[in-house]
Structure 1
Amino acid sequence: MRITGLAALAPLLLASASPAPNYRVVHGWPVLPDNRVLGPCSGVAVNGKGEVLVLHRGNRGTDAKALTPVNEPVVEVFDAVSGKLKREWGAGLFVIPHGISIGPDDHVWITDTGANQVFEFAPDGRLLRTLGERGVAGADATHFDRPTDVAPLADGSFYVADGYGNSRIAKFAADGRLLFQWGTRGTGPGQFNIPHALAVDARGRVYVADRVNDRVQVFEGDGRYLTEWKSAAIGRPFGLALLPGSRIAILDGGSNPDKVPDHDGVTIAALDGREVGHFGRMGNQDGQFWIAHDIAADREGNLYVVDIAGQRVQKFARN
């Protein structure tokens, strides 16, 4: 794996000395009601109560040409232990729901690549505010172009990965004001080709899954470039999840013709980029992935992965 700018991350080396975790798929998780199936699953997150929120596209499929909302609930809330469905919401709100994130206050953030909008919800699903103009693409303080993910922070500010159209990362104040942004389309340091997922560690460093460039880029909180991680195991990163023990899970979603048929998997890395574990491959059996799209971790370090083509969520317990 190529690692650049490693000196900037040297203080993290001592923090990443814990043993590498191993994972096993939890068979029979989740438990859906009779005659229920999920649509293409695009996002997953875990709230402070240990509930797992799965975002899917219902009957919409993977794309849409009109601003017609999905007419069924697209947010499914599961009990992390039993896998039972506790509640669902989100009908009639989204065109192409894409990413879901949970803030420190348990507010739920969802991006909509069809509507070019970002939404903030209360924990019970009440809409609190909407950013972006519905159906209008742009690259300014009040517009997005198919935004992919949100990383909320403890002070109320938040980063938005924007996304399929703009190839930028934008930081907003708690009141929604644009503070700054960085990134253009390209392959150089600080450039992106579909910044698809975000993670922010305890030190404020920002990790970006730079999907089509087949790498993870790491930045200071103000957007200053630190390093990139790129390897065959990381592949084409779709999702990121921070783990206990100063580690990060990197989800390879495939869609890379150079890796067919054995793509889709999870790489566990230290926060200096050193790979310490890997599991999963392409397939539709338990523990395999079929266009894996997002990943989340709970406080115990268990992982949850959603598939677009597989139309499911799987739990991987940390041994």
Structure 2
Amino acid sequence: MRFLILPFLIAPLAFAHPDHGTKPGDDPGTAVKTGNGAWSYEAVPHWGELPGGKIIGPTHGGVVVDDDSGLIYVSTDSALSVLVYEPGGKLRDTIAPECQGFHAMAIRKEGNKTAIYGAQLNGNNPPLRICKIDTRGKLLLEIPNASTGEVPGGWSGVTGVTVAPDGAIFASMGYGSNIIHKFDENGKLLKSFGSKGPDEKQFNTPHGLAIDTRFGDPRLLVVDREKRRLVHLDLEGNWIGVHASNLRRPCSVSILGDTLAVAELESRVTILDKTGTPVSFLGDNPDKSQWANFGVAPQDMKLGIFTAPHGLSFDKAGNLYVQDWNKTGRVTKLTKL
């Protein structure tokens, strides 16, 4: 479904902050509010900072939350690979050094265990693959493997990954062919679909993927970044329609109930309802020089204001964890009010 953002609606949603004496960026040591109505949040000062002033390193990845343990997993391009945080922001562990460079992640309960799937874009050996790991970082599966078969369009530019309820694995080549591949649970290629182009049913950087179960039969939700939209396909790759448009270069999504959060590279997180209509804007940055800017220095960032949201995840309480695309690394916790 398409939507229009009316001018009178944009201002109160994008810039409204409950009046409690602060606004985003005023004081990095004081929690500040952002959002609107039922989707109002408070940005937590210093959440996720490393001891001794150590930097995380480049963040160009994803965020997932394990609902059982409450732990938050943040992928990076640095040697720290995947950071494991406690909800309060304390770093518990770093895992999976061989999986450095997960560009996106998906988390899934499988029996009594939890698995994390990652789209490895910037690794060293091999450089491009889908990995399945356990929550301690043990590698359980990689794609391509001996059973995968030939992958149309070449295996390059993998940006997105998600897993269907039946275990089928989807991977998008958002920085390459713009094709989406469907594999079985062992990594055998089942089918490929999609292409790059100007037509409505073609993509331009299918950057992220998610499984959307809000409409009955599960759908594949494609985050089509450079067409600034979200689109629905069925799990065989057949076109359903545009779910939301006029976004600011969306990178990834997270779903909680009927609500969807979108990380937009142009310095904002948007909350959409089930119809694809925006109901709240979080951390909207008035400084356009920082939009989608990898080089913003820590001293130039303001609490509660984003520079380039790339990965994000709800936890089961509705709190949001947001990773900016940034050279030194940045993760923000937004506590739902």
Same fold (TM over 0.5): yes
CA drift at 1:314: 0.4
Q: Using the alignment, how far apart are the partners of 1:43 and 1:22 within structure 2?
A: 23
Which one of the candidate residues 317, 323, 327 is aligned to 1:306?
323
SS at match of 1:34: helix
Q: Is the 8 A contact 2:117 2:131 kept in 1?
A: yes
Q: Is the 8 A contact 2:244 2:276 kept in 1?
A: no
Residues 243 and 275, structure 2, Cα contact 8 Å, conserved in 1 = no
Whichever residue aligns with residue 275 of structure 1, its letter is P
* Contiguous gaps of at least 5 residues in structure 1: 5-18, 59-71, 255-263
- What is the SS of the residue equivalent to 2:187? coil
- Rounded to whole Å, the distance in 1 between the matches of 2:81 and 2:72 is 13
Q: 1:43 — aligned with what?
A: 62
Question: Residue 161 of structure 1 is aligned with which of 166, 172, 196?
Answer: 172
Report what 1:315 is aligned to: 333
- How far does residue 302 in structure 1 lie from its aligned partner after superposition? 1.0
CA distance in 2, matches of 1:171, 1:231: 25
2:190 and 2:98 map into 1 onto residues whose CA distance is 31
Q: CA deviation at 1:93?
A: 4.1
- Structure 2 partner of 1:32: 50
Deviation at 1:210, TM superposition (A): 0.4
CA distance in 2, matches of 1:47, 1:162: 26
Give the C-alpha shift of residue 303 in structure 1.
0.9
Per-residue deviation, 1:79: 0.6
Q: Deviations over 1:280-307 (max 9, x none)?
A: 1235101112222111111111111101
- Match in the other structure for 1:73: 80
The within-5 A match list for 1:1-319 is: 2-3=2-3, 20-41=38-59, 42-48=61-67, 49-58=69-78, 72-80=79-87, 82-94=88-100, 96-105=101-110, 106-114=114-122, 115-132=127-144, 139-140=151-152, 144-202=155-213, 203=216, 204-232=218-246, 234-244=247-257, 246-254=258-266, 264-282=267-285, 284-309=301-326, 311-319=329-337
Distance 1:3 1:226, change over 3 A: farther
Instruction: Quote the offset at 1:117 in angstroms.
Output: 1.0
Q: Answer yes or no: is the 8 Å Cα contact 2:151–2:189 preserved in 1.
A: no
Cα distance in 1 between the residues matched to 2:173 and 2:219: 18
Aligned to 1:16: none
Contact 1:103/1:153 (CA < 8 Å) preserved in 2? no
SS of 1:147's equivalent in the other structure is coil
Counterpart of 2:248, as a letter, is: G
223-232 or 45-54, which deviates more: 223-232
Q: Which amino acid aligns with 1:97?
A: F
Q: Which digits, 9 at most, give the CA deviation of each residue in 1:167-199, with x for residues without a partner?
A: 122221112222222110013233111111111
Report if aligned partners of 2:231, 2:241 keep a CA contact under 8 Å in 1: yes
**Aligned-partner Cα distance in 2 for 1:158–1:195:** 16
Residues 268 and 275 of structure 1 are in contact (CA less than 8 Å); yes or no, is this contact kept in structure 2? yes
Q: What is the percent sequence identity of the aligned residues?
A: 28
Greater C-alpha Rg: 2
1:3, 1:228 within 8 Å by CA — same for their partners in 2? Answer: no
Partner SS for 1:28: coil
Quick check: 2:160–2:207 contact (8 Å CA) kept in 1? yes
CA contact (8 A) 1:145 1:165 kept: yes
Describe the superposition over 1:36-94 as per-residue Cα deviations: whole angstroms up to 9, x where unpaired.
Answer: 21112121111232111011111xxxxxxxxxxxxx221100012x1111111232444
Secondary structure in structure 2 of the residue aligned to 1:290: coil
Q: In the alignment, is the contact (CA less than 8 A) between 2:268 and 2:307 conserved in 1?
A: no
Which amino acid in structure 2 is aligned with residue 79 of structure 1? E
Report the TM-score when normalising by structure 1.
0.79
Could you tell me the TM-score, scaled by structure 2's length?
0.75
